[in-house]
Each structure stands twice: as structure tokens, then as C-alpha cells.
């Protein structure tokens, strides 16, 4: 039996750091963001649908999608954002499930689905356990401002555009408190993996 863990967090919560810890432990991580980029590469069906929906002005000279240009359209227009999500999300889900099945067939003991919108997109049914990487609001704000060189207001706007981490924490099976050092977080992860019988 493979244990499938749904990993999520918020912006600047340290989710990528924890995802890397899984990789370092030889546990495969299926990253929804990476797949979302793959499915809109030229030659993929969702790419054709996006170009049909948004026009060729969103393309770079080489035919690839100009992400900032597409982003500027969907961030200001709820309807367009929904339209993009309806093209991209099903394709991402399908590819994630295929990869998950492949890993299960290969006999992997544990598989991680790294999905930023795990709760918002109601994808918890894809995982056996849900794990949220948690930081308090002050830490999140400080890290985001430092990481992305943002003003406090810009950082707050980004944080507030997501489901609050406190809400996600309530919905999760387990938490990793990432307010402290990377070593602390790793200890918590190893503890959970032992508890879930993934490692000895």
C-alpha cells in the first residue's frame, strides 16, 4: 500500500523547503505547479485551448505562452481567471493522477502531491493524509517581503488573496510548524513519517 500525502501551505510558508526534504528522503513529489507549466507548453491540448480562449497576443515570438501577459489579463478579471482554470486544472489533475498511479505501480511506499490549492480546489480526496506547512502571519509577511523584495502592503495583498494558513491548518491532518529553523521542521517531518510508518 502506498501512502499518498497531500502537501500544501501558503505563500512564503516554506512548502517548497519541505517538498525538498521529501525528495532528499527519496520520496517522489508530484508538483502541481510544475505540471501546470508543462500542460500549457506548445503541442499540448490545453495550450491550444488557452490560445483559442485568449488570442495569439498572449504568445511570445517563439510561440510559448507569455506568462506575465496572461497573468495581467486573469488577475484583473475573475471571469477570465475562471476560464483559464477550467482549461488548466482538469489537465493538471489528470496528469497528477497518472503519475500517482505510475508510482503506486512501481511500489513506492509514499508519494507526495504538492498542491498549493489543495483545499481551495477540493482535491483532498486525491490524498490519504493532508499536511500543511504552517507559519504565523508575522513570519509569513516578513519572509515574503524579504524573499520577493515587496513593500508591506504588496506582501499583504498577496497573502490576503489566499485562504488564510490558519484555515488550512484547521483542515489538515497534520502540521509542520515552520516558524523556526529548517532543522526543526525536518525533525517534525521525520516524526510524522515514522508515525505514518513510511520510515522506520
The reported pTM is 0.90
Q: Is 9 marked within a binding site?
A: no
CATH of domain 37-107: 3.40.50.300
At the topology level, CATH places domain 1-28+110-195 in Rossmann fold (3.40.50)
> How much is the average pLDDT of 121-142?
95
Q: Is 8 marked within a binding site?
A: no
**How much is the pLDDT for 77?**
86
Q: 57: number of CA atoms within 13 Å, CB side? A: 5
Chain segment 65-120, per-residue pLDDT in tens:
999 899 888 877 889 989 999 999 999 999 999 999 999 999 999 999 999 999 99
**How much is the pLDDT for 11?**
93
- Tell me if 1-28+110-195 shares its fold with 37-107: yes
In the chain, what are the domain boundaries? 1-28+110-195, 37-107
**How much is the pLDDT for 23?**
98
Q: Is the Cβ–Cβ distance between 24 and 184 less than 8 Å?
A: no
5 vs 200, residue with greater confidence = 5
**How much is the pLDDT for 180?**
95
Q: Is 170 marked within a binding site?
A: no
Chain segment 18-74, per-residue pLDDT in tens:
999 999 999 999 999 999 999 999 999 999 999 999 999 999 999 999 998 998 888
Is the torsion defined by CA of 147, 171, 94, 57 positive or negative?
negative
**How much is the pLDDT for 1?**
86
Grid-cell match 505540471, residue found? 35
Residue 160 has pLDDT above 90, yes or no: no
Residue 158 has pLDDT above 90, yes or no: no
**How much is the pLDDT for 41?**
96
**How much is the pLDDT for 74?**
86
Q: Is 14 marked within a binding site?
A: yes
Q: Is 12 marked within a binding site?
A: yes
Q: For residues 58 and 7, give the distance between their C-alpha atoms in angstroms, rounded to a whole number.
A: 31
Measured in degrees and rounded to the nearest 5, phi and psi for residue 114 equal -90, 100
Q: Is the Cβ–Cβ distance between 124 and 6 less than 8 Å?
A: yes
C-alpha cell of 98?
497518472
Amino acid at each position: 500500500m502506498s501512502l499518498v500525502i497531500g502537501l500544501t501551505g501558503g505563500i512564503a510558508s516554506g512548502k517548497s523547503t519541505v517538498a525538498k526534504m521529501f525528495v532528499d528522503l527519496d520520496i517522489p513529489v508530484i508538483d502541481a505547479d510544475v505540471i501546470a507549466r508543462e500542460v500549457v507548453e506548445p503541442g499540448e491540448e490545453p495550450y491550444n485551448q488557452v490560445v483559442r480562449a485568449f488570442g495569439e497576443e498572449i504568445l511570445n515570438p517563439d510561440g510559448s505562452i507569455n506568462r506575465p501577459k496572461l497573468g495581467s489579463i486573469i488577475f484583473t478579471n475573475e471571469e477570465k481567471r475562471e476560464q483559464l482554470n477550467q482549461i488548466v486544472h482538469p489537465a493538471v489533475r489528470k496528469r497528477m493522477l497518472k503519475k500517482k498511479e505510475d508510482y503506486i505501480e512501481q511500489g513506492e511506499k509514499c508519494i507526495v502531491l504538492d498542491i498549493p490549492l489543495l483545499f481551495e480546489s477540493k482535491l483532498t480526496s486525491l490524498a490519504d493524509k493532508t499536511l500543511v506547512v504552517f507559519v504565523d502571519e508575522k513570519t509569513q509577511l516578513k519572509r515574503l517581503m524579504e524573499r520577493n523584495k515587496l513593500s508591506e502592503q504588496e506582501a499583504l495583498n498577496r497573502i490576503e488573496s489566499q485562504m488564510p494558513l490558519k484555515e488550512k491548518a484547521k483542515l489538515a491532518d497534520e502540521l509542520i510548524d515552520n516558524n523556526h529553523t529548517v532543522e526543526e521542521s525536518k525533525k517534525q517531518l521525520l516524526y510524522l513519517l515514522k508515525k505514518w510508518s513510511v520510515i522506520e
